[in-house]
Amino acid sequence: MKIGELATRTGVSARAIRHYEKAGLLSAGRLLNGYRDFGDEAVAEVKHVVRMIRLGFSLEEIATFPACMFTGGAAVLCPVALQAHRDKLAEIELLIAELEERRDRLLATLKAAAQQSAEAARAASRTQEATGP
Amino acid sequence: MKIGELATRTGVSARAIRHYEKAGLLSAGRLLNGYRDFGDEAVAEVKHVVRMIRLGFSLEEIATFPACMFTGGAAVLCPVALQAHRDKLAEIELLIAELEERRDRLLATLKAAAQQSAEAARAASRTQEATGP
DNA sequence: CTAAACCTTGACGTCAGTGTCAAGGTCAAG
DNA sequence: CTTGACCTTGACACTGACGTCAAGGTTTAG
């Protein structure tokens, strides 16, 4: 099939598919007129690439995975891919931890601000008492 | 003080300080020779900018904060800044949720792979039984 | 024949925060 | 006067996954 059909069948833009091919994630034959010619398996491959991207892998990382990732139909993970997944998991957990730290700092800032504004309100009410009834 | 001193006193590169100034986060006078001339308060301002960046704000976001962020010495938050902090908090929590989803998908993938390899091992052992003793 | 739809490669734009080089002005010490 | 340290502006480099435009060849339906 040509790139347009692959694009519609996978929901990925033709531009992205060319990008994947240039990155070595996809292989395509060529028709006599130079058009890319993909086999049916390309649909699964593209979907697999999309899954990997959603898992947080970069194209470069995906490119380092050996052929075993595709020969197995995307369900079986060879040791290399397995380790890559574990590494990525650790990386994501680190990211989560960093974001949680950031969140906590923000919460602390907001809490301190709330306390300050409460004190300001008390001070204001005291002032009002003094000048009021 | 000139930019070099401000850089060493804040631990921020002179390049970054010029960038902050161009972004409108810092204001500096000029000496007769064209050199930037910062006041002592610039040290606190730069450190404040760094804190904001670490909280996840972009320079553009920081630039939208009104002067109240600096006049109070960085402890008092005006309503606008307060809302910005709340927005950023929500944004970060969304990011965390996305990462957790990604992590869970990764865990699921790894779990499935472990199960598959266990089954493969069982199948292998059965094969060995059949051909073995 | 022609317009529409599809394909090709190449290359710049995006977002953010700098690093880094270029080419030059300024200033203090020797 | 010279060297070296410090300052100036301007502009390109980098990361990543594409979007998008350019300029053109191919195919198909009418």
Weakest mean pLDDT among A57-61, A65-69, B44-48, B55-59:
A65-69
* Tokens at B47, concatenated: 């450190």
Can you tell me the distance from the alpha carbon of A26 to that of A70, in angstroms, rounded to the nearest whole number?
10
Residue A61, helix vs strand vs coil: helix
pLDDT at A43: 95
**Axis-axis angle for helices B14-22, B3-10 (nearest 10):** 110
For the segment A122-132, what is each residue's pLDDT rounded down to a tens digit?
Answer: 777 776 665 54
Asked if B37 and B1 count as a contact pair (C-beta separation under 8 A), the reply is yes
Residues with Cβ within 8 Å of B87's Cβ and at least 6 positions away in sequence, in order, are: none
Residue A16, CB, strand C, below 7 Å: no
A100 touches chain B (CB under 8 A): yes
Angstrom distance, B64 CA to D9 C1': 26
pLDDT at A66: 59
pLDDT higher than 50, residue A62 = yes
Which residues on A lie below 8 Å from B106 (Cβ)?
55-56, 85, 88-89, 92
- Domain positions in chain A are 1-76, 77-133
For the segment B4-21, what is each residue's pLDDT rounded down to a tens digit?
Answer: 999 999 999 999 999 999
pLDDT at A76: 56
pLDDT at B73: 43
B121 touches chain A (CB under 8 A): no
* Tokens at B25, concatenated: 């986060």
Query: A1-76 has which fold?
Result: Multidrug-efflux Transporter Regulator; Chain: A; Domain 2 (1.10.1660)
Name which of A76, A86, A116 is nearest B110 (Cβ-Cβ). Answer: A86
Strands (E), chain A: 29-30, 36-37
The C-alpha of B2 sits at a distance from chain A's nearest C-alpha, in angstroms, of 31
